[in-house]
Structure 1
Amino acid sequence: MITPVLLTHSFYSVMFKNLANIGTDGCDSPQTRRGYERRLALLLSANDLFLDRGYDAVSLDDIVNHAGGSKASIYKYFGNKEGLFVAICDYHRELFFKDICVPFDPEVSELREYLVNTLYNFYRHIIDPKHTAFMRLIMEQTQRSPDLAQYLHEKGPKFIQMTIANTLSRAVELGKLNCPNPLYSAMFYFGILRNTEWRIMMGLDAQLTDQEMIEYINYCVDRFLDGHQKV
């Protein structure tokens, strides 16, 4: 049984170091150190306030009072409050891909190990209380904005599924699997954690201990691979 390798750096500590690098279409990018620091402060303040109070309860004045500066900087770097929210969503997504759903390299890792580690790192991600709070915030906002929902789905869940689908396609090319529909199989693969994800989102505990989750993931990945063996 493979014991997953937990990624060592904190999701949020890295997020706070890099938030100012995220661009917003149609808005200015900082050209000076002061501008860079101002943009970062606005992003961090908006992130904290949205999580603490909820999106609707936070005004641009609240963000400016928390971060310092003026609303002109928000308009310059993000366009508006919605632009701030999308910029934060973009960074959460980018960091998720970097740490959890990395491209498969058959010269670096074995397929089974890759699939086990991806699920376990995903599990560690979804049980983080800060992640749960942010996902609830996203669910609330996407109910009101079909365009935002479509954007985040295309850039998030769909992209993640395609990463695994491409991994399975690569394994087929290498003669390791029989997988006639990699996208369907990728959707099935992520379903392994669906119960845990919904339990957390609904405020319940994860039900399994970390050791039990490792055993569960190993078991499910073995069954997943058994179903894709070449006849």
Structure 2
Amino acid sequence: MVAEHRAGPGAGPRSMARRRALLDAATRLFVEKGFEKTTLSDIIALAGGSRATLYEQFGDKEGLFRAVLEAHQERFLANLECVEANPSLRPEDALTHMARGFLRAMLHDDSLSVLRVLVAEGGRVPGIAETFLAMGPDTTAARVADYLRVLSAKGLLRIDDPAMAARAFLGMIVGRLFLDRLVDPQRAIDPEKEDLYIRRAVRLFLAGAACCPQAAKGPGAEVPLRPGCPAPALARIAGAS
């Protein structure tokens, strides 16, 4: 595996600017031509600079490809800052807020472009796919799982496996909308239909996790969970102890 080459904290503005130019050029060319057909000469011709600079910053083309994906992951994580549970909201509204943030981060043009490269070329860089999943979708799933544990602690829901439930929830959210945009970048998504899709997915998820529909509608639900309620496939609701 190629050793990572990063501009250290003491790197000057010119060095950082050269690094940024190389990353931008490589991202554009990897998206347009693919990893295999993009040459270092192509990247240098577009970004300027020299091979010596590229080797110093990234090691080789594989190192540059890894750096492009890591830079995308950092931007993706920044877009996920809004995917945090708001304890002052009803569970339905909090999950809708989290779902909307995750879906919009996934459907961003930059995300889709880099994901296409990752799907086509990710096997050329060992470990890069796992790194992407850990930094993006897995981070989001962990936040959702933490929130589901909070709901369980309040007695609103009791979910046997919050991590699995969170992954299932996010899978419901991205679903067909993400697939449509991934295979057809020109396809426009109606914001109203997107919002309706998210809200229906959230309600479907909560319906599977709640024995009493009212129980998921707000903190301190007025209608208590009923003892002896049959366990749904995704999540089991326990009666008041």
TM-score, with length taken from structure 1: 0.76
Which residue of structure 2 aligns with residue 7 of structure 1? none
Partner residue of 1:211 out of 179, 192, 196: 192
Counterparts in 2 of 1:83-122, with a 5 A limit?
A: 83-100=63-80, 102=82, 104-107=84-87, 109-122=89-102
Q: State the shift of 1:130 in Å.
A: 4.0
* Pairing 1:195–2:195 present: no
Distance 1:100 1:73, change over 3 A: same
Given that 1:127 and 1:206 are in contact with CA atoms closer than 8 Å, whether structure 2 keeps it comes out as: no
Q: How many angstroms apart in 1 are the aligned matches of 2:207 and 2:179?
A: 26
Amino acid at match of 1:61: S
Q: State the shift of 1:120 in Å.
A: 2.3
Q: State the shift of 1:148 in Å.
A: 2.5
Q: CA RMSD in A?
A: 2.7
What is the number of residues matched between the two proteins? 208
* Pairing 1:149–2:129 present: yes
The structure with the largest alpha-carbon Rg is 2
Which residue of structure 2 aligns with residue 135 of structure 1? 115
Which residue of structure 1 aligns with residue 15 of structure 2? 35
Q: State the shift of 1:185 in Å.
A: 0.5
Partner residue of 2:158 out of 178, 198, 219: 178
Q: How many angstroms apart in 2 are the aligned matches of 1:95 and 1:129?
A: 12
Which residue of structure 2 aligns with residue 162 of structure 1? 142
- Once the two structures are overlaid, the 10-residue window that deviates more, 53-62 or 198-207, is 198-207
Matched-pair identity in % = 25
Q: Which has the higher contact order (CA 8 A, sep 6+)?
A: 1
Q: Deviations over 1:63-99 (max 9, x none)?
A: 1111111112222222222222222222322222322
Q: Deviations over 1:27-80 (max 9, x none)?
A: 442621111111111111111221222222211121111111111222222222
Q: How many angstroms apart in 1 are the aligned matches of 2:166 and 2:127?
A: 25
Q: How many angstroms apart in 2 are the aligned matches of 1:46 and 1:205?
A: 23
Q: How many angstroms apart in 1 are the aligned matches of 2:4 and 2:151?
A: 36
Amino acid at match of 2:206: L
Q: State the shift of 1:201 in Å.
A: 2.3
Q: State the shift of 1:112 in Å.
A: 2.5
Q: State the shift of 1:118 in Å.
A: 2.6
Given that 1:199 and 1:205 are in contact with CA atoms closer than 8 Å, whether structure 2 keeps it comes out as: no
Which residue of structure 2 aligns with residue 73 of structure 1? 53
Given that 1:101 and 1:163 are in contact with CA atoms closer than 8 Å, whether structure 2 keeps it comes out as: no
Structure 1: stretches of 5+ with no match in the other structure? 1-23
Which residue of structure 2 aligns with residue 8 of structure 1? none
Which residue of structure 1 aligns with residue 209 of structure 2? 228
TM-score, with length taken from structure 2: 0.73
Given that 1:27 and 1:78 are in contact with CA atoms closer than 8 Å, whether structure 2 keeps it comes out as: yes
